[in-house]
Amino acid sequence: MTNKKFYVTTAIDYVSGEPHVGHAYQKIIADVLARWNKIQGKDVFFLTGTDEHGQKISKAAEKAGKSEKEFVDELSKKFKQAWKSLNLDYDRFIRTTDKDHEEKVQEFIKLMNKKGDIHKGKYSGLYCVDCEAYVTEKDLVGGKCPFHPNKELTELSEEAYFFKLSKYQNKLLELYEKNKKYILPKFRRQEIINRVKEGLKDLNITRTNFSWGIPFPLDKKHVTYVWYEALLNYITGIDWPSKKFKKFWPADVQLLGIDNSWFHCVIWPAMLMSVGIKTANTILINGFLTFNSQKISKSLGNVISPIALEEKYGADSIRYFVCRNFVFGQDGDFSEQALIDRHNNELANKLGNLVSRVTSLAEKYGIEKTKNKLIKKLKLKKIENYFENYELDKILNEIFAFIDVCNEYVQSKKPWETHDKKVLYELVDSIKAIAILLWAFIPETSEKIAKQFNFKIDYNEIEKPLKVEKIKKEGILFEKI
C-alpha cells in the first residue's frame, strides 16, 4: 500500500449524559479500521474524545448541583473507562476543555477573520438546546426538532458573529463532484448535495446568552458556538499546524452519526476551505442503533453502559456482534438475544471449536510443514475490497465462511484417526491467517491464538509458512452463554 499513514476520527461525544451502546458502536468501527491499517504496516493515528461546552451542559451541571468543570470531568472519565473496557486503542482522547484545543480554536478564528470570512450581525430563529443548534423551518417535523420531538424549541434573537458559509456553496458542490467518496455510504450523499443546491445561509458562530464556552477572540462579550469549535478538534487533536498535523492530515476517515452529517459534510469542509486547509478524504456516516428494539433513551431507562455490557458478555463478543450484525450506514437494533446467538453459534461453536480441536490434535500428534493448499480457499482480495468499502459485516461473513471450510476439512480428513501431521499443519497455518484477519475485530482472542502458536499479528505473516513446531493447548476461547 502506497499511503503509509492512516488517520481516523470519531465524533466527539457530548457529555450531557453517560456513554451508551450507540456511542460505543461508532468507536468500535473506528478501532477496527485503525487496527486493520496497523497490521498493513501503516503509521496510524486514532482520535476520539468528548465535546464539553454549550448551554445544554451548563443547564445539566446546574441541575446536578455541580460546576460545569466538575460535571464534564466526571462524565469524560466515564467515556474513557467505557472505551478502555471495549479494548479501544486510541492515540488521543481529546477534550474540548483541553488548553491546547481552546488556544488553537482562537488562532483558527483569527485566521478566518483575516481571510475576510467573519462578519457581525443579528440572528433570530428557533433553537434546540439538545442539539445546540438553530432549526430551520424546512427541517421542522410537526413544528418540532426532528431529533428531539419531545422538547420545546426556544425562540432566540441575538447579536452574533457569522461565518460566510454562503460563499462556499459552489466549492462544496465541486468537492462532492470531484471526490465521490467524500460522503459515504453513497445513499447519504445525494440528500446533502440537494440541500446545498438549495442555497446556504451564513453560520452564526457565537452566543451571548451563556458563558460556558471558549471566549470568542474578536469580542469578549461572546463565546464561540459549541458546534463550530468542536469540529476543530480533528485538527487541534493532531497539533495543527505542527509537523504531526502535516504528517496525518487530511484525515482518511471521519466517522459520525446521521444527526451530525450536515455539520461534517457542509460546515466543516467550508471552514477548512476558508483558511486553506485540505478537506478530509472520507466522511463516513453510521446509522442509529436501538437497544432491544427500543430507542436508546434516558427516559426509557435503557441507556446501558458499555462497561455493564462488557462485564456481561466480554469485549470481543460485543465488538464482533456490532460489526457482524449491522450493515454499516443503516440503522440497526442491538439485541442481547442476537448477540448471545452469534456468540454461541459463531464464536464458540465455529471459531472456538476449530481452534480447540486442532490444537488438541496438534499437541497430541505434532505437525509437519507442508504446502498449505487449504489456505487458497481464503479469499484475501475479496476481504481487502470489502475493507476498502467499509463492508465489515461482509468481511466477517467471508472469514467465517473460511472457518466453515476448515471445520469441514477436519471432518473429512479425520486427523484423530489418521494422525496426519501435514493435515494438522495446514489447519494450524490456516488458523494463524484467521487470527490475523480477526485481530481488528476481536483483538484479545486473536492475541491468545498468536501467543499459543507463536506468530506475530502482521498482515505479511498470512502468506508466510508457520514456523512453530510444538503446539500446546491452553484454555477454551469462548465459554457458551
> What residues are paired with 126 via a beta bridge?
135, 155
- pLDDT mean over 156-182: 95
What is the distance between the alpha carbons of residues 369 and 362, in angstroms, rounded to a whole number?
12
137-141, 159-163, 206-210, range with the lowest pLDDT: 137-141
CA 217 vs. chain centroid, Å, equals: 32
Q: Is the dihedral of CA 87, 88, 92, 97 positive or negative?
A: negative
> Is residue 213 within 8 Å of 207, Cβ to Cβ?
yes
End-to-end CA distance of the chain: 40
Q: Which of 53, 161, 48 is nearest to 102 (CA)?
A: 53
Mean pLDDT (whole number) for 375-388: 96
Checking if the pLDDT of 296 tops 70, the result is: no
Residue 273 has pLDDT above 50, yes or no: yes
Is the per-residue pLDDT at 190 higher than 80? yes
| Amino acid symbol at 206 | T
List the domain boundaries for the chain: 5-308, 336-463
Mean pLDDT within 104-130: 91
Whether residue 127 has pLDDT greater than 80: no
Distances (CA, A) of 8 to 33, 37, 321, 396: 8, 10, 21, 21
d(C-alpha 374, C-alpha 429), whole Å: 9
pLDDT for res 1: 41
pLDDT in tens, 341-350: 999 999 999 9
CA nearest neighbour of 465 among 432, 436, 419: 432
Handedness of CA 334, 397, 253, 457 (dihedral sign): positive
Q: Do 5-308 and 336-463 share a fold? A: no
Q: Which residues contact 458 (CB under 8 A, 6 or more apart)?
A: 39, 41, 436
User: Which listed CATH number (3.30.750.200, 3.40.30.10, 3.90.226.10, 3.40.50.620) goes with 5-308?
Assistant: 3.40.50.620
Q: What is the mean pLDDT of residues 420-439?
A: 97
Q: 375 or 333, which is more confident?
A: 375
Residues assigned a catalytic role:
20, 23, 128, 131, 145, 148, 295, 298
pLDDT at 228 over 50: yes
Contact yes or no for 223/207 (Cβ under 8 A): yes
pLDDT tier at 302 (50, 70, 90 boundaries)? Answer: low
Mean pLDDT of 262-282: 98
Average pLDDT, the chain: 93
The tens digit of pLDDT for each residue in 10-25 reads: 999 999 888 988 899 9
Contact 329, 185 (CB under 8 A): yes
How far, in Å, CA of 408 to CA of 344, rounded?
A: 19
Q: State whether residue 372 is helix, strand or coil.
A: coil
Q: pTM higher than 0.75, yes or no?
A: yes
Q: Tell me the CATH number for domain 336-463.
A: 1.10.730.10
Q: In the block, which residue shows the cell 432549526?
A: 135
Flag whether pLDDT at 150 surpasses 80. Answer: no
- If you average pLDDT over residues 113-121, what whole number do you get? 97
The C-alpha atoms of residue 12 and residue 51 are separated, in whole angstroms, by: 6
Please give the pLDDT value at position 301: 57
Average pLDDT for 146-174: 88
Rounded CA gap, 206 and 209, in Å?
Answer: 10
User: Is the confidence at residue 298, as pLDDT, over 90?
Assistant: no
- Does residue 97 register a pLDDT over 50? yes
